[in-house]
Amino acid sequence: MTLQRQLLLHTERTDYMFGILTPEQMKRAEQASVKLGVSLSALMDNAGKRLGREVLASAQQVMSRDIVILVGSGNNGGDGLVCANYLYESGVVPTVILVCGEPKTDLAKAVFSKLYPQIRVIDGESAECNHIISDAGIIVDCVFGTGFRGEMVGQALEIFKLAQESVAYKIACDLPSGVNALNGQVSAGTLHSDRTVTFHRTKLGMLLSPANEYCGEITVVDIGLPDGWEQEVGYSIEKAELSQVMGLLPTRRRDSHKGSYGKLMLVCGSEKYMGAAMVSASSALRSGVGIANLCTPKSVASALVSAMPECVFTTLEADEQGCVSESNLPVLIEISKTASAMVIGCGLGVTDGTKKLVEGLIRASECPVILDADGINCLSEHIDVLEEKQSEIILTPHPAELSRLCGVGVSDIIADRLGYAVSLAEKYGVTVHAKGTQTITATPSGCCYISDFGNTALAKGGSGDLLAGLIGSFVAQGIKIHDACILGSCLMGCTAERLSVYLSERGIVASDIINAIPEILKEWEK
């Protein structure tokens, strides 16, 4: 993965706006197009012809004119029929296989009625399909579009199994059939395409796992939507290359001092989870924060101080369970008055006392607050306290934590992680950094960003604590909230990728990544 291994990042350039769309947003864009004078029929005609051009270009590369188009009964199939006519007009006669029977939508029916009679049309149930698909040089998948959900069954599944076994070059129309365009889930039978020709904008699900492994090379083509469609789609999902992310690192002046790079306050750790506090504070220091003040129980501080001489420790009273007592709230509020940012939650524990502590800090803190792990768990039962916040809040939930915050099942989150992140961000005016194989950052203003960095080395304890420390460090250094989230995920992911060149992913731990961060930063600073 080269170009696909990118993250999504806000930019002021209008040509980057709405670079990615959800299925619903694409539908709204098409509806807006009709209002603005460009019909759905015209869009289908444009889409099919642009697909045809790309198919011809691929045919030249693979040196084959034996083209089979798999056509569904909906509008994705209609695009394929327009493509078939375009190929015929260009001197190439394709074979069309009706995978789901004859077209059923009005648009597709209209195109089918105009199909050149010289184009061979085969019913998907025909015994001929086997050898036609096997002998094809190029297979164009135009069966299921952005509205597909669930699993392929019956005849369609059998035909796609045949297509997968074929050595033909495989091109998907808009997205591979069987891909959920919203969440990236993939049905059995989905083709591993060599290339995907998608219309107008990349669809969200194509960038998410596991669908991103099925799309091959992605080509985005213009289908003629008129100016003004953007006003109808709601929130934006943005994209930028790694080079733009590297540019977010703050400049370090020669005459600077520790105060120039912020004071990060970390309310983390308990007698049971000492390591989480150590990881978060260490990652903050390794990523450039001027001062890291770890506010933690006395016993935790005593155990960690020799291993972390660069860290400032504020020792706190612990309750009977070894967690930070609620009685420390006045002290922590006072410290927060001089802090540039605050991380709450790594290894904190979930008790009645820590719940009240988190609520109190949210109400009183004037510096930006990053809530992670137990900070989120303490919040989830009383989430409305976010309406009383005095500062910017960042939530960093994994899917299970996001489900608790939203009051839904984990399966609901998996089905629409971006939607829930956006809703949570907008409802409470917070930034939601929803962690996953691809991490989604949703802002209160309705902008979304997606990062796709890292590997299985991050699939172990400590990764979330590491990320929280990085985000807190960058916020304390003065980087914008959403940029700090994206930069943190990118740095952690790129460092893990670098380590995996010479170390096994299964054996890399959080401390390995922390120690390697300066090497990556050195390269980024060049």
Which pLDDT belongs to residue 180? 97
**pLDDT class for 234, splitting at 50, 70, 90?**
confident
Place of tokens 């990728």: 497
The burial class, CB within 10 Å (0-12 / 13-18 / 19+), for 457 is: buried
Q: Do domains 19-232 and 261-524 have the same CATH topology?
A: no
- Residue 191 tokens read as 């083709």
Q: What is the mean pLDDT of residues 495-521?
A: 97
E strand or H helix at 238, and its extent?
strand 236-238
E strand or H helix at 499, and its extent?
helix 481-499
Which pLDDT belongs to residue 2? 30
- What residue spans define the domains of the chain? 19-232, 261-524
Which pLDDT belongs to residue 9? 38
Q: What is the pLDDT of residues 194-231, one digit of tens each?
A: 999 999 999 999 999 999 999 999 999 999 999 999 88
DSSP tally for the chain: helices H, then strands E? 18, 19
Q: Answer whether residue 12 shows pLDDT above 90.
A: no
Q: Answer whether residue 157 shows pLDDT above 50.
A: yes
Q: Answer whether residue 8 shows pLDDT above 50.
A: no
Q: What is the pLDDT of residues 82-103, one digit of tens each?
A: 999 999 999 999 999 999 999 9
Query: For residues 58 and 18, which has the higher predicted lDDT (pLDDT)?
Result: 58
- Any idea which architecture 19-232 has in CATH? 3-Layer(aba) Sandwich (3.40)
467 contacts 487 by C-beta, under 8 angstroms:
no
Q: Answer whether residue 15 shows pLDDT above 90.
A: no
3 state DSSP class of 345: coil
Task: Give the predicted TM-score (pTM) of the model.
Answer: 0.92
141 contacts 163 by C-beta, under 8 angstroms:
yes
Give every CB contact of residue 339 below 8 A, 6+ residues apart in sequence: 263, 264, 265, 293, 367, 476
- Residue 193 tokens read as 């395409």
Beta bridge partners of 218: 196
Q: Answer whether residue 58 shows pLDDT above 60.
A: yes
DSSP 357-384: HHHHHHHH--S-EEE-THHHHHHGGGGG
HSE-CB at 178 with a 13 A cutoff on CA atoms is: 27
Distance CA 507, CA 459 (A): 11
Q: Answer whether residue 192 shows pLDDT above 60.
A: yes
**CATH, range 261-524:** 3.40.1190.20
Which pLDDT belongs to residue 19? 84
3 state DSSP class of 344: strand
Beta bridge partners of 220: 198
**pLDDT class for 241, splitting at 50, 70, 90?**
low
Q: What is the pLDDT of residues 385-402, one digit of tens each?
A: 999 999 999 999 999 999
State the first-to-last Cα distance of the chain, in angstroms, to the nearest integer: 24
Distance CA 432, CA 187 (A): 29
CA 416, distance to chain mean position in Å, is 11
E strand or H helix at 314, and its extent?
strand 312-316
Average pLDDT, the chain: 94
Distance CA 17, CA 11 (A): 8
DSSP 17-50: TT-EE-HHHHHHHHHHHHHTT--HHHHHHHHHHH
Q: What is the mean pLDDT of residues 510-526?
A: 95
DSSP 384-398: GGGGG-SS-EEE---
Q: Answer whether residue 485 shows pLDDT above 50.
A: yes
The percentage of the chain sitting over the pLDDT mark of 90, rounded to a whole number, equals 91
Q: What is the mean pLDDT of residues 466-485?
A: 97
Distance CA 175, CA 43 (A): 17
- Residue 472 tokens read as 């807190």
HSE-CB at 248 with a 13 A cutoff on CA atoms is: 27
Count of beta carbons in the 10 Å neighbourhood of residue 121: 16
